[in-house]
Structures are given as C-alpha cells and as structure tokens.
A and B are shown apart, each in its own frame.
Chain A
Amino acid sequence: MTRVDFMQGNIASAEGALAAGCRFFAGYPITPSSEVAEHMARRLPKVGGRFIQMEDEIASMAAVIGGAWTGVRSMTATSGPGFSLMMENIGYAAFTETPCVVVNIQRGGPSTGQPTLAAQGDMLQCRFGSHGDYSTIALAPSSVQEMFDLTVKSFNLADRFRAPAFLMADEIIGHLRERVEFPDTVECTPPRPIREGMLPFEPEEDLVPGFTPFGHGHRVHVTGLTHNEKGYPASTDPDLHERLVMRLIEKVERARHEIADYDIENPDAEVVFISYGVPTRSVRQALLDAPEGLYGHLNLRIVWPFPENLLKKFPNARVFLVPELNMGQMAREIVRHCDQPVISLPRLGGELHTPQYLLDRAEEYR
C-alpha cells in the first residue's frame, strides 16, 4: 500500500535515496541541506547501510566515489560552498565514469552568501564547474513529491550513464513540507554489468561501458589520468584523449531527447515561460490567474543535458520568459537554441517571483 506523509523536501529526498537502494552516504553538514544527512545518518544503519561524516566536502565526494566503486549506490548532499569544494572530485567521478548522486540544496551565493535562503545559482557550476570538458546530468525538483521521485531517478540515470547525477534543488523546496506519496517499490535499474570479453572502460553501442566494481571478478584500474580501455594511464596520446573526452560528452548528450522529462502547458501560446525547480510553482499559479490559454509553459525536470528540441513544441512562440533564482544561467543556454528573444527574469536575495510579477512581465510582451 502506498504510504502517505506530510514531510519536508530534504527528508523526502533522503527517503527517495533509501527507496532507490542507496546504502552509502558520505557528507559534511551544511545549511540548508543538513536534514538530508541527518536523516540518512538515522536511517542507513537500520537498513544495513553506512553513513560517514567526513572532514569536509572534498573528502565526502572522494568517499562517495569509493563507495560507488564497491558496487553500492552512493550519494552526498551539500550546498553552494560545499559544492564548490566537491568540484575537483566531481570531475574525477565524471572521468572515471563513476555512478553517484550529489544533492545540492542551493542557497544564495557567491561564497557563504545566504545560508538560509533559496537560489538556483549553481546551475552552470554543475554543468561546467570542474576543469576540462565533460557532460553532466542534472534534475530540478519543484515539489516535495519530486524530491522523492527525482532522487530515485537520479540514481537510475547515474547508473545508466555511469556518470555523476545532480539533484539541483533549492532551500524553498528542501524545507517545504507538503504531502508526499511513497510507493511500495520504485523502479531501480542497476548499471549494466560488463560483458564477457569486454574491458572495464570499453564502451558498448550506447557509448557507456559495462560497470565492474571492485571485487566483482575483474581486474580494474581506476585513474583520473587519461586512460585506455583497460583503465591504465595513457595521458600522452592525443587521439586517445580526444576520443575519450568526446565519448564522455556524447554518451550523455546523445540521449538528451530520449531522457527529457518535462511538462508542457498551452503549446499554442505566443508568450511562453520556461522554468525549472521552484519558480515553476510561481509560473503555474500565474497561468491559473491569467485568462485561459494565454501563456505557455515549459517546465523542465531534467535540465542537463539540455533538451533543446522542446523549444519547437511551441510553434507560435514569439518570446520565451525565463524566471530563475539567478542572473539568467539557463536563459543563456536557451538563447543558444532559438531565434526568438529570450527574456531572463532574474530574482536574487532568496525570495521567489510572485505570480503577479510574472503576469506583469508577460503583459509587456503580449
């Protein structure tokens, strides 16, 4: 029987991780994400898992990567300053094709900024924050239910693509309490095991290698250096490096339309909002308050890889309005993919766009 509760977003994310079979959490508490770690610390030992509080976020991310290589679903949770510290090892996870989940309950930055207030300022950092080229998977929940559902999904995507996946939430959704339904079981798709005769970093047709964690019968070498398909360093071969990095990008990017997760309202509208995460709630209320069908809305639950074809689902769109709790980070991406004007509606300081503010802006473009 489905269990129902009235629960905080951060706790729902932790419950989603547990339902998805996550049995290792390494982290360092930071506002406004700490409830995720607290809940995992309470619950993991009771389900045969391990919780470890590390000395900082650099070590936390390293431990998560280690956990994943034992074949256990592994995660951490953090916020801005901690996310910055994790960047080096996030690159290591991307390059070593380590499936893991990072929950980022975004707060106002830069630096220690506004610990207790919401932002979406890390949307480009999660895409480009570590050095070198790679691609990334990022999800954006806009309800407590989605904190649960998208945490589960993050694990499945991380395993499918052998890549770190990011749940890019924010303080408002992380601390909001609302109704959430927990299904008896959730869909869990483990990583594809390595096939007989294949090498640990030899890609299958979808460009993702089978995963063979330590202690699972194969000799595996894992390094952050450019490596060959055996996993051994080969850092001076220009062609090998180029092929490897392009594959890491391509394995994620080529699936962007297939894995796209979104809602579309009023596709015939001429003025269209695009949102992800908590501003989606403001846009939905604005659409309810406006004359029916007047404005369109694209809500993205998967933000990276960016599914640019969705912009074409609004054939009459004259303008896209993009409310974000940042200075227009995803608006920059949208500009790259369409001919219409893209109007960034930034909001900084921790408060959400009110529905009336969005209606006033939309009115200017009618």
Chain B
Amino acid sequence: MRHEVKFTGFGGQGIILSAVIVGRAATMYDGKHAVQSQSYGPEARGGASSSTVIISDEPIQYPKVLEPTIYVIMSEAGFLKFGAGASPEAVMLIDSGLVQSRPECRCIEIPATMKAKDILGKPIFANIIMLGALVAATGIVSEEAMQKAVLDSVPKGTEDLNMKALRLGIEIASNGGE
C-alpha cells in the first residue's frame, strides 16, 4: 500500500521536519520504505511551505507525490493551494484554529496551535501535536516508531514537552478531533 502524505503550512511551523520525522519513523523503526521531498524555494519564515512523504511496504520507485491520500494542513493558504483539490477519498487533518475552509473529504479538526500555546506554553509544538493526530487517525506509522523518530529529531531538553505534544495529538484524534 502506497500512502502519499502532503504537509502544508507556513515557514517556521516545522512543515518540512514533520515529513522527515514520518519518513524516519517508517524506515528506521517500522521496517517500511519512505521517500521525503519538499517544495524548495525562497520559503523563509512566514512564507508558504509544503513537503511530502511517501510510505510503502514495497520499495518506492517514483519519488514524487502523484495524488496525496493524506493531508496535514496548518495554514489557510496551504489549504487553498493544495487541500482544496483533495480527492474525496483523502483524509485531511487540519489545524482548526488556522484553517477556516473545510474540504469535501474526511476531515479531522485538531486545534494544534491553540493547544500548544495553552497546554505546552509555546505554539512551536503544534506540528508534533499534528503528528500525534496523524498516527491516531491513519496508522501510517506505529505510535512507537513515531515516538522514537520525534526523539531523534528534536533538540535536547525538549523531549518531555514533545512527547506530551505527541500524546495530546493522539488523544484529540482518538476522540475524533475537536
């Protein structure tokens, strides 16, 4: 099974890192195959940012996304550019405090940035909350693999808060979202 996941948001939210973490979880800890790439341009903090990761049980030949099956969207601009054209079979996780529009496909609303600020004290954990929600909603990687990949990727001293963020995301999505 080939899953194509698209992450969009603005620069600084950790959109690219999110895709890298999912790819790392799949290849390093779940024994799956993954390729990750990103739109690559002058996307400084605040500009539009997007990245993709493909996960499959089989070796992945074609490395680019053809038709995303899963979206993680963390800005309205990202929704308009990519999410609006999602196929009806896709699954979409949105940061409900930042994205006003809603898609035709199955949509799980996660108030990630708000919860990151309110519960963890910093909006910077929002992408990890989204990753927790992604695991719970889609199971494309195991919870354990995601934990390890997050710990591999975050700065020392932030492990506990990032694990909290991950669990928060899992909780929210397990309850069907907001």
Contacts and interface: CB of A to CB of B under 8 A. Distances in A.
B34 A178 contact: yes
B82 to A, nearest CB: 16
Interface stretch (B60-68, B109-117, B119-127): B60-68
Q: Which of A6, A32, A278, A354 has the most CB of B within 10 A?
A: A6
Interface in A275-301: 278, 281-282, 284-285, 288
A282 B63 CA distance: 8
A6 B37 CA distance: 12
Interface of A: 4-6, 32, 116-117, 171-172, 175-179, 278, 281-282, 284-285, 288, 351-352, 354-355
Interface stretch (B21-29, B73-81, B92-100, B133-141): B21-29
Contact of A172 (B20, B34, B37, B66): B37
Q: Say whether chain A's binding surface is mostly helix, strand, loop, or mixed.
A: mixed
Q: Which 8 A-B pairs have the closest CB atoms?
A: A285-B61, A285-B62, A177-B36, A284-B61, A6-B24, A179-B27, A116-B40, A178-B35
A176 B34 CA distance: 10
Contacts of B88: none
A179 B40 contact: no
A288 B61 contact: yes
Contact of B34 (A6, A288, A355): A6
A172 B63 contact: yes
A282 B61 CA distance: 7
B36 A178 contact: yes
Contacts of A281: 61-63
30 contacts: A4-B28, A5-B28, A6-B24, A6-B28, A6-B36, A32-B40, A116-B41, A171-B40, A172-B37, A172-B64, A175-B37, A175-B38, A176-B37, A177-B36, A177-B37, A178-B35, A178-B36, A178-B60, A179-B27, A179-B34, A278-B63, A281-B62, A281-B63, A284-B61, A285-B61, A285-B62, A351-B64, A352-B64, A354-B66, A355-B61
Given A175-B40, A177-B20, A177-B23, A354 B35 contact: no
B44 to A, nearest CB: 13
A172 B52 CA distance: 13
Contacts of B63: 172, 176, 178, 278, 281, 352
Contacts of A288: 61
Contacts of A4: 28
A175 B62 CA distance: 15
B164 interface: no
Nearest to B21: A6
B34 to A, nearest CB: 7
A282 B66 CA distance: 12
B40 A6 contact: no
A48 B40 CA distance: 33
Given A6-B28, A176-B36, A179-B33, 11 more contacts: A6-B20, A6-B34, A116-B41, A172-B37, A178-B23, A178-B35, A179-B28, A281-B62, A284-B61, A351-B64, A355-B61
Contacts of B64: 172, 351-352
A175 B41 CA distance: 12
A185 to B, nearest CB: 22
Contact of A355 (B20, B36, B40, B62): B62
A48 B64 CA distance: 38
Nearest to A287: B61
A285 B43 CA distance: 31
A145 to B, nearest CB: 11
Contact of B35 (A171, A176, A282): A176
B39 to A, nearest CB: 8
Contacts of B35: 176-178
Nearest to A114: B41
Nearest to B62: A285
Nearest to A117: B40
A171 B41 CA distance: 12
A44 B40 CA distance: 27
Contacts of B33: 178-179
Nearest to A178: B35
Contacts of B24: 6
A6 B20 CA distance: 8
Contacts of A32: 40
Nearest to A144: B35
A284 B20 CA distance: 24
Nearest to A358: B62
Nearest to A282: B62
A7 to B, nearest CB: 9
A355 B60 CA distance: 13
Contacts of A177: 20, 23, 34-37
